[in-house]
Structure formats: C-alpha cells, structure tokens
Amino acid sequence: VGIRQIADSLSLSVCTVSRILNDTMGDAKYRKETIERVRRAAEEMGYRPNMVARSLVSGKTHTIGLCLADIANPVFGEFAALFERDAARRGYATFVCNAGEDPAAERRYVDMLVSRRVDALVISPVGKDVRRLKRIANAPHCRVVLFDRCPGGVHAPSVQVNNRNAMRDLASRCLALGHERVGVIMGSPADSSLALRLGGIRDALKAKGLRASSLVTSKGTGATTVEGGAKGMRHICKKRTRPTLVLALSNVLSMGALAAAKELGIRIGEDLSFAGFDDFPGADLMTPGITVAVQPVRKMAEECVAFACASGPAKPVSKTLKAKIVWRESVRSRGQSR
Amino acid sequence: VGIRQIADSLSLSVCTVSRILNDTMGDAKYRKETIERVRRAAEEMGYRPNMVARSLVSGKTHTIGLCLADIANPVFGEFAALFERDAARRGYATFVCNAGEDPAAERRYVDMLVSRRVDALVISPVGKDVRRLKRIANAPHCRVVLFDRCPGGVHAPSVQVNNRNAMRDLASRCLALGHERVGVIMGSPADSSLALRLGGIRDALKAKGLRASSLVTSKGTGATTVEGGAKGMRHICKKRTRPTLVLALSNVLSMGALAAAKELGIRIGEDLSFAGFDDFPGADLMTPGITVAVQPVRKMAEECVAFACASGPAKPVSKTLKAKIVWRESVRSRGQSR
DNA sequence: GTGAAAGCGCTAACAA
DNA sequence: TTGTTAGCGCTTTCAC
C-alpha cells in the first residue's frame, strides 16, 4: 500500500498525506483531526514509505556503500559490523562489499554502488588505479571516504592507522628483550600498509644498532593469505640460524604462520618468540596468548561513518589513528626463548 | 549524467537511448551507426544507469536484505561474506544488518528493508513474534527466506542445520572415549537451536545408558556470549566432581569457556576434554586444536541465495543440512584426560 | 487548511 | 528505424 491508497480511502490528496506523514508542512496547518485520521489509516493499512520513490525525488538514498579490501581479514569484518551499526543509528543502510583483493571485483562493486546512487562510498582501495575514485570524489552526489589504504591524489577524507609507528613500537619492545635475529612474515608487496610496517621494523632495528642482515624476510607466496603466512614461517624456520623472534605483518599472516609453527612442532614462546600486526580471534585464547599491535577499529568505524554522513562539501581531511600494543605471552626475552 | 543528456547531445529520444543501452529493443531495429553513437556517447560521458529510477519503474531493486541474529558469531560473519559474494554474482546487492539478538533492533531493520523494497529478506529471526514476517512473506514483492532459526508458521523457505543430530553425533563420539560425567555450556534458553543441541547431548547420554544426572548444565549469564561461556565454564569447574568432558553449545560459548579455562589454569586435553558446536577462528591453531561440529556454511549461503533469487511464487520448502565433525585433539579418552 | 500539478530518471506501450 | 506519451510513488511549489 502506498500514500495514494491511503489518500483515496480518506478522500484526501496525496500531498496532504505526504506532508502529514513526514511532518513536513511548512506553512500548512492541518486540523488535528485530519492528522489523526491520516496517521491511523497509515498505521492500519500497514503503510511503509517507498524509499526508492522518495530517493528518486530527493536525490539521496540514505545508503552507504562499504567496499572492503578483504573480508577474510577479521579486522575488516569487525570494522564492517561496527560501521553498519553506527550508520544504521544515523538512518543509513549499508551495502557491504568484498573486493577480496581483486581490483576487477572492486571496479565492478564501485560501479554498482554508484549506479545505486549511494550517498557515500567508503573504501579501502585494492587497485592502484584511482582515476575512477577521483572522478567519483569530484562528482557532487557521492562522497568518497578512504580507509586503511589511502592512496594520494583522491580528493577525499581518509582514515588510517600509523602503520610504521605502530610496528616500530611493537618491534622495539620485542627487541628490548634481547632478540638480535628477527624473521618477518611478509605478504603481498603491492599492499602499501605492509611496506610501511616493514619500514617500522627496520626503524626499530636501526635504533637498536642492529644490522639489516639480522632481518630475515620470508619468501612466502607473495600473497597476504593464511597460506602465504604458513609458507613464510616454514621458509624462515628452515634457515641454518633460525631467528629467535618472528614478526608477522598482518593477522592473516599470523594465523598462517602460527599454523605452520604448530605443524612444525615449534612451541611459540618457548622455542620462538612471536608477535603480529592486528589482533585476530583466538589470539588471546591460545597458550601462550599472542602479542599483537591492534588497530582502533571502533574508532576507525566511527570516523568513517562521520565522514560518510557529514553534510556540506567534502574536505580531504586525513585522520591518522594510533595502534595499541596488546602484550600477551608470546614474546619472551631471548634467554628464556632459547 | 543521465540518459536524457546523452539523448540530447545526440539529438535522439530518451527511449532510443534507453533501448540501445539495455539491449531491449523488442521489435525495433536501430541502425548500427546509431547504436555505436549511443554506446560511445554513454561511455564518454561516463553514464551509469540510475538504479533507483529503474527500480521505481520495474518494481524490483535487485537488492537483498540480510538480517543476521548476531554477527559476533563468526559463523554468521562467514555466512554473510559468502552470501554477499554469491548474490553479487547474480547481480544482487545485499544490505547486511545485525540484529545483535535484539528483537527491537530486528524489527527496525526489517521495516527499513521493506521500506527500501528489497526483493528478498533473508533472516535468522531473533524475535519470537513472527506476525511481521508472516505479513511480509504473504506480500507479493518481497520474498522471505528463513535460515538458522526457523520458526514455524511463516510461509517461506528455510535453510537450517540438523542441530540435534549433529550434537548427538559429536557427543556420542566423545562419550565413546569413556567419559561419564559431562558438562554443558549453555547460552540463552530463548535460542531454540541451543535447546535442540542440548537435546542431542541428552540423546547421546541415553543411548550410552548414562543417567541424566551425569550431565552438568552451566548456569551462565543466560546469554549466548563470550562472557556467558566463561561464566558457564567457571561454574562447572567449581563443582566438587568436575566433569571430564565439557561441551559448548555454540562457538561463542566455546570461546568464553576456553578463555575461562586458560584463566583457571586448566589444560584442555590433558586436564579436561572439550568440544563445541560450530567452528571458530583459531580453533585449529590452538594447542590442542579444538574438536567441533561445523555447519556447512558455504552450502547454507548458496541455498539461501538461490531461494532469495528464485523467481516464481515462493514455496515454503525446508532444507535441512548436515553438520560435519572436525576432530582435533581437544578430546581424549577418559584415562588420558584424568 | 487543502489540493493540483510538475517532475525525479527511467521503461514500455503505442504511434509514426 | 525512431519518437510520443504515460506512468512508477513520492515531494514540493504554487494556487485556491
């Protein structure tokens, strides 16, 4: 049932009904009675406004497109859930999309979202071709918000964590325990976040006066996947002088690395110290618990929603948040570990 | 830019452009040249069809509303990701919503989705009031699909796992190892799935000739949450005769229970055998790995998408799938465990 | 206080 | 081979 039938059933005009149901009578003053009649009829007939019609006229859909780089990463999943909740509170529905690290899929999603006239597109871009995003960001009806991965040149606000600093801090704390040979589980070289994190580790090494040769980078599959992490760990552990500390550049990699360690019979904590970037479910449940640097996911989601729902012209403000280190038991001092 | 400007720029009518761009010229035969001109213009002007206008005309939005009982449960998250992917392949965009076990939130979401005229509403209902769902299911434009929790009386297809059988099988295998006193980590009594699973455990006990008194049900928080699981485990472990085997009725409960066990210094496998319903991230990474019954999430997602996208009148078919047991190392024979 | 009418961008009968 | 026209359900300006 639509506004029309309720108007007919009451012998009123659609406009009257519309105005009453939307509380949007500028100068018009309706009789208390009319208002009541309309409200009741709407209720009784089970009227639900047709948002698509409304959107067509208003030009706003009250809809946000969230395009994630890879939902296999639990952090993205958590982010999505938090985002959706905050958006819903503000009256926005969100389309959740998963590019799965595939630029082509991302392109299709972005096109689809634009077609659906989302009011905002919140995206952690996987493709390096940002022309499309630029175009959209410059168009008036859809505001773009970048998060996690924030390529330059797009006129849009962005929300990210300071990857380099976070990883530097984590590495420093670990190195302070006496480790001198550290392995790094690397993922896709195309992911700029990972490069930054690796940079952070290098910083920490340098600050400690350690030579670059004390850093053993994994030759994984070159992909930021569980399997990639596992391959990396196996590779590192085959070395003649195995590192006493292994650092994984992402949670997905951590999960793979840990699986490989288990497989290899390497006891984390006792045989090998380990820490990773980003929390993952179960990191606290394992024995020992895994030390990680965690992104302030909740805060990120809040900021993104705020940018997405903001009114007025989009300002390309860049919010950089700080990660927090959750110290559990997986990193021991070098003596203990070996 | 819309169909209109491209029509104007070419001095054609909107209808011509529409038909060409949609390949929908029934009897009409356009000149190759015209077709080319239109295609090129659309491309150059960066035309993207306005789905909201199109939807208004067609009455279909090519959109599905997915309303989850609780995304804190990793299985739902995985389900959502799989669902979204399959739906996208069929050209559907999906609104992901999380009721968070809150009937009021669910109601709001359902209303919102109906307002947005989703073509299908796929839902694991948390509220016990199904009148609303009934109404929607009977309306012509939005088909309803139930999953996970499938209350009767709604004229809609449903997809679920055979909770009782699955848990019975899991429990039987565990009991075969000699355990005679088993603790159960219970969650919300309102969740019918949990009740069924508990029933499965009772079945197994009975089949083994064990008395009901050998079953110790946790007094948790009464909520299916991590904290609830932890409380349950603590409660059970305080008993004078502690069970040798603990079964958790859901993955969320497992996570809590395991956290509590760790806290209490109870070594899973060695001090206590443990198994749970539904997999969770890290279950395989822990030492020992946790034995679980897993739902065929992928299959469930596929079935749900198929129902949601089906054409023709909705048939209230009920698909019941089988869970699979993933046997890891957390359950040992009674002698070993104690 | 209330209604008529135009129009949002697009599709689809029906003309030409 | 192409155009005219009438809506889809709703909002909004302007008129009564």
Write out pLDDT tens, residues A233-253.
999 999 888 999 999 999 999
Nearest residue in A to B65, CA atom:
A95
Mutation choice for A interface testing from B52, B254, B262 by most A CBs within 10 A: B52
Give chain A positions within 8 Å (CB) of B118: none
Query: What's the confidence (pLDDT) of residue B127?
Result: 87
Query: What's the confidence (pLDDT) of residue B28?
Result: 72
> Cβ–Cβ of A117/B50 closer than 8 Å?
yes
d(CA B154, CA B142): 13
Report which secondary-structure segment, H or E, holds B115.
helix B103-115
Most confidently modeled range among A120-124, A129-133, B22-26: A120-124
Q: What average pLDDT does the segment B259-284 reach?
A: 96
pLDDT per residue over A310-332, tens digit each? 998 889 999 999 999 999 999 99
Q: In what order do the strands lie in the sheet with A158-161?
A: A318-321, A158-161, A143-147, A120-123, A63-68, A93-98, B93-98, B63-68, B120-123, B143-147, B158-161, B318-321
Q: Distance, angstroms, CA B15 to C1' C8?
A: 17
Chain A residues 5-34 with Cβ under 7 Å of strand C are 11-16, 25, 27-31, 34
Choose among B56, B97, B114: nearest Cβ to A48: B114
Query: What's the confidence (pLDDT) of residue A126?
Result: 93
Chain C positions within 7 A of any protein Cβ atom are: 1-5, 7-15
Q: Distance, angstroms, CA B90 to C1' D11?
A: 33
Mutation choice for A interface testing from B116, B119, B138, B278 by most A CBs within 10 A: B116
**Percent share of chain B, pLDDT over 90:** 87
Q: What average pLDDT does the segment B185-204 reach?
A: 94
C-alpha distances (whole Å) from A87 to each of A81, A96, A303, A309, B95 are: 10, 12, 11, 8, 12
Q: Distance, angstroms, CA B61 to C1' D12?
A: 25
Report which secondary-structure segment, H or E, holds B73.
none
d(CA A169, CA A35): 63
d(CA B266, CA B72): 26
Nearest residue in A to B77, CA atom:
A77
Query: What's the confidence (pLDDT) of residue A314?
Result: 87
pLDDT at A337 over 60: no
Helix (H, G, I), strand (E, B) or coil at B179: coil
Angle at B116 between CA B111 and CA B118, to 5 degrees: 95
Give chain B positions within 8 Å (CB) of A135: 46
Query: What's the confidence (pLDDT) of residue B148?
Result: 95
pLDDT at B267 over 70: yes
Sign of CA dihedral A215, A219, A224, A229: negative
Query: What's the confidence (pLDDT) of residue A25?
Result: 81
pLDDT at B27 over 90: no
Query: What's the confidence (pLDDT) of residue B336?
Result: 67
At residue A29 the predicted structure's pLDDT band, cuts being 50, 70 and 90, is: confident
Report which secondary-structure segment, H or E, holds B268.
none
Q: Distance, angstroms, CA A18 to C1' D16?
A: 19
- Compute CA A268 distance to the chain's CA centroid, rounded to the nearest angstrom: 29
pLDDT at B26 over 90: no
Query: What's the confidence (pLDDT) of residue A335?
Result: 76
Query: What's the confidence (pLDDT) of residue B313?
Result: 86
CB A238 within 8 A of CB B264: no
CB B288 within 8 A of CB B328: yes
pLDDT at B273 over 70: yes
> Cβ–Cβ of A48/B77 closer than 8 Å?
no
Q: Which nucleotide is nearest to B19 (CA to C1')?
A: C11
> Cβ–Cβ of A55/B52 closer than 8 Å?
yes
Mean pLDDT computed over every residue of chain B: 94
The candidate with the shortest Cα–Cα distance to A210, out of A243, A161, A256, A166, is: A243
pLDDT per residue over A273-313, tens digit each? 999 999 999 999 999 999 999 999 999 999 999 999 999 88
> Cβ–Cβ of A117/B51 closer than 8 Å?
yes
pLDDT at A64 over 90: yes
Mean pLDDT computed over every residue of chain A: 94
Query: What's the confidence (pLDDT) of residue B201?
Result: 97
Which residue, counting CA atoms, is nearest to the C1' of nucleotide C5? A15
Q: What average pLDDT does the segment B270-280 reach?
A: 97
Instruction: Show residues, CB within 7 A, near nucleic chain D.
Output: A 2-4, 14-15, 18-19, 21-22, 24, 26, 28, 49-50, 53-54, 56-58; B 11-16, 25, 27-31, 34, 53, 56-57, 59
Residue type at B228 in one-letter notation = G
At residue B212 the predicted structure's pLDDT band, cuts being 50, 70 and 90, is: confident
Three-state SS annotation for chain A: CCHHHHHHHHCCCHHHHHHHHHCCCCCCCCCHHHHHHHHHHHHHCCCCCCHHHHHHHHCCCCEEEEEECCCCCHHHHHHHHHHHHHHHHCCCEEEEEECCCCHHHHHHHHHHHHHCCCCEEEECCCCCCCHHHHHHHHCCCCEEEEECCCCCCCCCCEEEECHHHHHHHHHHHHHCCCCCCEEEECCCCCCHHHHHHHHHHHHHHHHCCCCHHHEEECCCCCCCCHHHHHHHHHHHHHCCCCCCEEEECCHHHHHHHHHHHHHHCCCECCCEEEEEECCCCCCCCCCCCCEEEECCHHHHHHHHHHHHHCCCCCCCCEEEECCEEECCCCCCCHHHHC
Nearest residue in B to A136, CA atom:
B46
Give chain A positions within 8 Å (CB) of B97: 84, 88, 93
d(CA B201, CA B178): 15
Query: What's the confidence (pLDDT) of residue B307?
Result: 97
Between residues B70 and B338, which one has the greater pLDDT? B70
At residue A336 the predicted structure's pLDDT band, cuts being 50, 70 and 90, is: low
Chain D positions within 7 A of any protein Cβ atom are: 1-5, 7-15
For residue B263, with 0-12 CB atoms within 10 Å meaning exposed, 13-18 middle and 19 or more buried, which class applies? Answer: exposed
Helices A74-89 and A297-309, packing angle to 10 deg: 40
Examine residue A189 and say whether the peptide bond preceding it is cis (omega within 30 degrees of 0): no
Establish, for the pair of chains A and B, how many residue pairs have beta carbons separated by less than 8 Å.
125
Q: Distance, angstroms, CA B3 to C1' D11?
A: 22
> Cβ–Cβ of A111/B81 closer than 8 Å?
no
Helix (H, G, I), strand (E, B) or coil at B236: helix
CA atoms within 13 A on the CB side of B1: 15
Query: What's the confidence (pLDDT) of residue B219?
Result: 79
CB A125 within 8 A of CB A70: no
CA atoms within 13 A on the CB side of A319: 20
Examine residue B288 and say whether the peptide bond preceding it is cis (omega within 30 degrees of 0): yes
- Both ends of chain A: CA-CA distance in Å? 73
Q: What average pLDDT does the segment A75-100 reach?
A: 98
